[in-house]
């Protein structure tokens, strides 16, 4: 589940941010990524190919810190997952669904008598906010998802296949 950008967040993004960018990392690698590595502490996502960086992006995460514990906690999960679906009709431009919850997530939620949730994606930005571009990643605004700019999700869409492993680190 993904939250809406509030007017306060929009104002903070416009007034208090510097521009960031996606970058090709070391070379002109061609081909599909075989691993996605997200480091929450660095707000970064790297597409890997044969153990080497293919592309790198700055990302926005969930509004709350720490590993996801239950549905509605606004936290981005941590662990091992896969891209299990592509959604070209997402309200967030394009979306790659991630296979959260895994077995350990389900157990943790069960032990806490909580619903782990499951609508976890790597996605772009809603059309009315697409003009924000790279400013969107200056503030964590999602309900636990991972957000990039719309041009970035278009690039990622072409570089990532269903079945690509996703590793999310604290």
Average pLDDT for consecutive 10-residue bins of the chain (170 residues)?
A: 44 36 41 96 97 97 90 95 96 95 92 91 91 88 95 97 97
How far is CA 161 from each of CA 13, 70, 116, rounded to the nearest angstrom?
32, 27, 25
User: What's the maximum distance between 2 C-alpha atoms anywhere in the chain?
Assistant: 48
- The answer to whether residue 2 sits within a structural domain is no
- The answer to whether residue 83 sits within a structural domain is yes
- The answer to whether residue 96 sits within a structural domain is yes
pTM tops 0.85: no
Question: What's the pLDDT at 134?
Answer: 86
- Please state the domain count of the chain: 1
**DSSP structural state of residue 44:** E
Give the range of the structural domain holding residue 22, as residue numbers without chain letter: 7-169
Residue 137 neighbours by CB distance under 10 Å: 27
Which residues are the active-site residues? 123, 145
């Amino acid at each position: 589940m993904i939250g809406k950008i509030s007017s306060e967040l929009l104002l903070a993004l416009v007034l208090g941010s510097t521009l960031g960018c996606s970058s090709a990392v070391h070379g002109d690698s061609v081909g599909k990524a075989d691993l996605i590595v997200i480091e929450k502490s660095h707000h970064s996502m790297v597409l890997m190919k044969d153990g080497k960086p293919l592309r790198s992006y700055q990302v926005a995460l969930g509004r709350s810190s720490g590993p996801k514990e239950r549905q509605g906690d606004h936290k981005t999960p941590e662990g091992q997952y896969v891209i299990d679906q592509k959604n070209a009709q997402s309200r967030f431009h394009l979306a790659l669904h991630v296979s959260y919850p895994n077995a350990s997530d389900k157990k943790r939620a069960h032990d806490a008598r909580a619903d782990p949730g499951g609508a976890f994606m790597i996605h772009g930005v809603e059309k009315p906010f697409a003009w924000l571009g790279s400013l969107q990643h200056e503030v964590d605004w999602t309900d636990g998802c991972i957000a990039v700019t719309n041009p970035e999700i278009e690039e990622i869409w072409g570089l990532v296949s269903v079945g690509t492993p996703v590793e999310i680190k604290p």
